[in-house]
Amino acid sequence: MDFFRKYLLPGFVFQSVVIGGGYATGRELVEFFFTSGPLGGVFGLLVAGLVFGLVLAAGFEFARVTGAYDYRHFCRELLGRGWVIFEVAFIILLLLILSVIGSAAGELTAASFGLPSIVGTLGLMGLIAVLTFYGSEAIKKVLALWSFLLYVTYAALFVLAFMHFGDAISGVYEGTAVGEGWLKGGVLYSGYNLAVLPAVLFAVRGQASRREAVGSGLFAGAIAVIPAVLFFIAMMALYPEIGAAPVPAAMLMSALEIPALGLLFQIVVFGTFVETGTALLHAVNERLQANFEEVGREMPQFMRPLVAVGILAIAIIAGTWFGMIELIASGYGMLTLVFIAVLVLPLLTYGVWRAYARR
């Protein structure tokens, strides 16, 4: 149990944040890796997993030696006065992700259960409010449990895809060469997803050694990317048509014609929206808690769900009324470069040097 808490739990928390705002529907995998072909896409995902592992290992160790477990403290230690650049970019990404998952939760509820979309959105808000109220320990337990269910679901999807379309998948991999751009795709994909690193630092507070911090970071890279690899390979059953599908996961589920798996997958995907929103908004609460501590006070517990639900509501309303999703999504490439410049590169240079100097 101690091994799980120190070495594996941070990875499951990180994967929980990445998947809901990213590859749960399959669309993000298509955007970043489809042009590299079936084999190139797998190579790109493996590159992303390697970058995830290295940067998370450096980040977890940096947080341990500096005692910086909220994103404001972490970025001030890493960037000095430049921490404001990260915070602005993080807030933009936060609003984008929350807008997407809020809208997606409503659409998923309407499509899967025939209920008004507002029911899904309110359900998302309610679950996030409950989890943020109970704090870090409850969040870690729920995210770990849901990640286990997610792994089971993706493994089942992978196996069933091969049972139904094994010849088609094998034919795709035998008949296509490695495309170009897989290295670039892997680096860019990991670049903006690593922006959520400070949001998972609450999961590494109990680490007491460099071995634990670095080991959990390397494990986290593998934990985050394995379901994506399985999902990407399964999607090759419908290659190349699935690349044009708005929701590739829905197209694959329809082709499998297994209603029970489709229903389970929809429930799991809804849970990933809750996971992602909870972890990101908990990071905001932890940042506010640090502000309260600086003036010798404690953040009231009732403020946590209020802050979380308030920010989520603002993101959803803004995304719907003002087209924030389209506006920010058009600058996704720039956001990726910003996070590589102000988080990934500083961590792999100054962060590693400082952590080593404090051994």
* pLDDT computed for residue 302 by the predictor: 87
pLDDT digits (tens, 9 = 90+) for 209-260: 999 999 999 999 999 999 999 999 999 999 999 988 877 888 888 899 888 8
Residue type, 27: R
* pLDDT computed for residue 353 by the predictor: 93
Other C-beta atoms within 10 Å of 108: how many?
Answer: 23
| Structure token pair of residue 330 | 């058009």
Q: Distance between CA atoms of 330 and 324, rounded to whole angstroms?
A: 10
Write a three-state SS string for 174-235.
Answer: HHCCCCCCHHHHHHHHHHHHHHHHHHHHHHHCCCCCHHHHHHHHHHHHHHHHHHHHHHHHHH
Residues of 88-106 as b/e, b for ≥16 C-beta within 10 angstroms?
Answer: ebbebbbbbbbbbbbbbbb
Q: What region does 67 belong to: left with phi over 0, alpha with psi -120 to 50, or beta?
A: left
Other C-beta atoms within 10 Å of 81: how many?
Answer: 7
279 contacts 127 by C-beta, under 8 angstroms? no
- pLDDT beneath 70: ranges in the chain: 1, 20-22, 319, 322-332, 358-359
CA atoms within 13 A on the CB side of 3: 1
* pLDDT computed for residue 98 by the predictor: 86
C-beta contacts of 76-81 below 8 A and 24+ residues apart: 78/343, 78/346, 78/347, 78/350, 78/351, 79/342, 79/346
Other C-beta atoms within 10 Å of 159: how many?
Answer: 13
Distances in whole angstroms, Cα of residue 102 to Cα of each of 49, 106, 112, 135, 181: 27, 7, 16, 21, 32
